Structure 1
């Protein structure tokens, strides 16, 4: 089959789709990935055909957009910012996708941009969305994220949750139509009619079914596949540096991935002031450009590197709670300290706590509060063991194969 993939955003949005594309290529399918040029080299190195979509930003441009997203007050505001950022480029995006859909057998887009499925329906092409955050999966077992739970008998709770999901679906569609409705109309797409409940013919939820799937799904169009993880290449030279620094000792690792925030230099100065003297830590600079403010032989700063390679040296990982980083730490079998900054990162912090493998530290005072959280984990016997046990279970799953099978089944009908 000929598969057209598309996604926008940071590495956390793009890497799972690259992994899906690679799995499809390995299964003998033709795959194109329409996205921004920042990720072209990695897409093509995976054997996937690249199709250009705007904007043609470098990493600093996307980092600035990420800073804007950290200012969102709630999920509805986040959707507004995301769609507003896309608006100047939307006509070209839609025209390109309409052209590419002519030769596609199946179309896969990000859950955030489920409105693009309208293009696939116009072309009589089955449409699929992917989501790496399972809090968007509707279920009568719980209300939408951030909305109140009802203290009542089970049948009343289920009815309450059902009403809230339907209301949420309408409100999200209203927000999308308000921002990009005119642009969609210019391309004959009509208005967004369902975002949360019926986003596509199939919704691939790319997390572990065993760890994350709710007892009741809204419909069978939502399928939990397991994680889709794509890694940067391992670095042999860096491996020697890591070995020499760690000296056979597992150490804490700090990484905020593609998250950016204001006054990063001042924040890291506070971190340096509060981190225990003589205690080793590895700091990944990431998109925020985290720095070590003065020479310290107990601190090692690294740049872009495979999480699997880096986390082999971790006693625990301090991170932002991004979906991809959370998945990598779970697979590494070490505890988390999560410092959420944006969107679903608070949800992943709650999931890590639910699974018994980590703690959350508030963003406002994380440089001051982090050492205490690290000490708590290092003194715990249950948390590291629980993390190792979950990693063993995750190693049994094959998310890419499950996702490919689901797409093949959809096309066969």
Structure 2
């Protein structure tokens, strides 16, 4: 069986495909991954000997570009890149898995349609799936009318926004390969049976909806990489530190974010491990109680820290939850407030109110996260998290192609 996994987005959109690709290879499938040409993405795939087919520009470069392109401009470029790269990569494949930002998935699914290949649409957060039980997320620059509170009406307005932002770009590119236009872009991407690759304890799918959602569990590749020798020495030289990292969030580019976090950690009498991330964080006053890391095995590290302070990305939230580490979530955008809320509701950490922490607010949150009872409950929840999500998804693909 030959499988193409296609995405365009940040680390959180690529890392799950690494886990699925590894499971598919173990089952004897041939796998390719279409993803942005960022160096860390290529390295992760090379680690499991899966080729990266580069598509579009680096997402890190695009994210920090000034001024950033408008959403319709970005969508047009992303869809055109998908049609070019995915068409070549999908030749001879039996199935295509599409995920990532919505216009990228729309482009990949259009390629599968053109080539007559079976396709699966996947999301790594349920907020993209229409449900009368909650409102949709608003796109930047397109807020919903404050007087509208009916969720079904709001989802209708969301569909209108998606069409306005991405419809012209998608249909222009579809016409270029001889495909008819799409009237409802969101419904085209989601389909009738989308996959939700999240953990059912951390992210339970209970909402009534007109969709046959397949929740597989999160797609995670066990990380066997050793921690750097310097970090190992730092961990061994005292009590467990607090991890601070904001992933691919460039909005925290000022050194203030790192300094505020480190001061809050020190106020609790703890040391800190600071991850640079896309914001290139580093403490201003480097001291012996602070260690700065780049790319690192979070699965190994999170099991050895006192707490994890992070932005609330789906991948980081899942990894910290699996490790049993208490969390302090500082949500920045998109689905991150949702994950922060889930952490708080499960009692395994604290959600900060707003994207800009102060030393006082972060100190208060850390006091709760570092309390013994939070650690006890975080450890208990960790035992409930599924570990077979990627294996289940791989088997579902094998079964579908077999049928």
Q: Please give the range of the TM-score, normalised by the shorter of the 2 chains.
A: 0.7 to 0.9
The alpha-carbon distance between structure 1 residues 54 and 197, as it changes in their structure 2 partners (threshold 3 A), is closer
1:121 is aligned, of 113, 125, 140, to 113
1:398 & 1:363 partners in 2: Cα distance? 33
Tell me which residue corresponds to 1:29.
29
The answer on 1:329 being equivalent to 2:320 is yes
Which of 76, 80, 97 matches 1:108?
A: 97
Whether the 8 Å contact between 2:23 and 2:391 is mirrored in structure 1 is yes
- 1:398, distance to aligned residue in structure 2 (A): 0.6
Once the two structures are overlaid, the 10-residue window that deviates more, 256-265 or 10-19, is: 256-265
Deviation at 1:220, TM superposition (A): 5.5
Cα distance in 1, alignment partners of residues 67 and 209 from structure 2: 33
What is the correspondence of 1:303-318 to structure 2 with a 5 Å cutoff? 303-318=294-309
Contact kept, 8 Å, 1:322 with 1:345, in 2: the verdict is yes
Counterpart of 1:120 in 2: which secondary structure? helix
- TM-score, normalised with respect to structure 2: 0.85
Q: How many residues align?
A: 389
In structure 2, C-alpha distance between the alignment counterparts of 1:411 and 1:220, rounded to whole Å? 22
**Equivalence for 1:76:** none
Partners of 1:338 and 1:148 in 2: CA distance: 28
CA contact (8 A) 2:312 2:339 kept: yes
> Matched residues in 2 for 1:68 and 1:339: separation?
25
Q: For 2:361, what is the secondary structure of its paired residue?
A: helix
Q: Relative to 1, partners in 2 of residues 1:309 and 1:63: Cα closer, same or farther, differing over 3 Å?
A: farther
Whether the 8 Å contact between 1:206 and 1:228 is mirrored in structure 2 is: yes
Which segment is superposed worse, 6-15 or 358-367? Answer: 358-367
Q: Is the 8 A contact 2:242 2:306 kept in 1?
A: yes
Q: 1:267 to 1:42 in 2, by over 3 A?
A: closer
In structure 1, what is the Cα distance between the partners aligned to 2:198 and 2:125? 8
Alignment of 1:19-98 (within 5 A): 19-38=19-38, 39-55=41-57, 57=58, 61-62=61-62, 64=64, 81=70, 84-88=73-77, 90-98=79-87
Whether the aligned pair in 1 keeps the contact of 2:75 and 2:169 (CA below 8 Å) is no
CA offsets 1:216-256 (integer angstroms, 9 cap, x no match) = 453564211111124483335245323333x3x22221111
Distance apart, 1:205 and its partner CA: 0.9
Q: Distance in 1 between matches of 2:199 and 2:252?
A: 34
Shift of 1:330: 0.6
Query: 2 CA distance for matches of 1:322 and 1:341?
Result: 9
Q: Cα–Cα, structure 1 residues 89 and 363, in superposed 2: closer, same or farther, change >3 Å? A: closer
- Residues in 1 aligned to 2:326 and 2:262: alpha-carbon distance in whole angstroms: 22
Q: Point out the more displaced range, 261-270 or 308-317.
A: 261-270
Judged with a 3 Å threshold, the aligned counterparts in structure 2 of structure 1 residues 219 and 195 are, in CA distance, closer, same or farther, namely same
Matched residue SS, 2:242: strand
Structure 1: which 5+ runs fail to align? 70-79, 151-156
Deviating runs (4+, > 6 A) in structure 1?
Answer: 146-150
Task: Show the counterpart of 1:299.
Answer: 290
Cα distance in structure 1, aligned partners of 2:263 and 2:371: 23
Distance between the aligned counterparts of 1:110 and 1:49, measured in 2? 18
Q: Matches of 1:298 and 1:132 in 2, distance apart?
A: 36
Equivalent residues in 2 for 1:296-375, closer than 5 Å: 296-361=287-352, 362-375=354-367
What do the CA deviations read for 1:299-331 (whole angstroms, capped 9, x no partner)?
Answer: 222221010121122111100001110010110
Answer whether contact 1:166 1:197 (CA < 8 A) is retained: no
SS in 2 for 1:314: coil
Q: State whether structure 2 residue 381 is matched by structure 1 residue 390.
A: yes
2:166 touches 2:185 (CA, 8 Å); kept in 1?
A: no
Map 1:235-274 onto structure 2 (within 5 A).
235-238=227-230, 240-245=232-237, 247=238, 249-261=239-251, 263-272=253-262
Structure 2 gap ranges (5+): 139-143
Greater percentage in helix: 1
Q: 2:124 aligns with which of 132, 135, 139?
A: 132
Residue deviations 1:127-168, cap 9 Å, x none?
112211122223344343478999xxxxxx9xx544543443
TM-score, normalised to structure 1, is 0.83
The Cα shift of 1:11 comes to 1.3
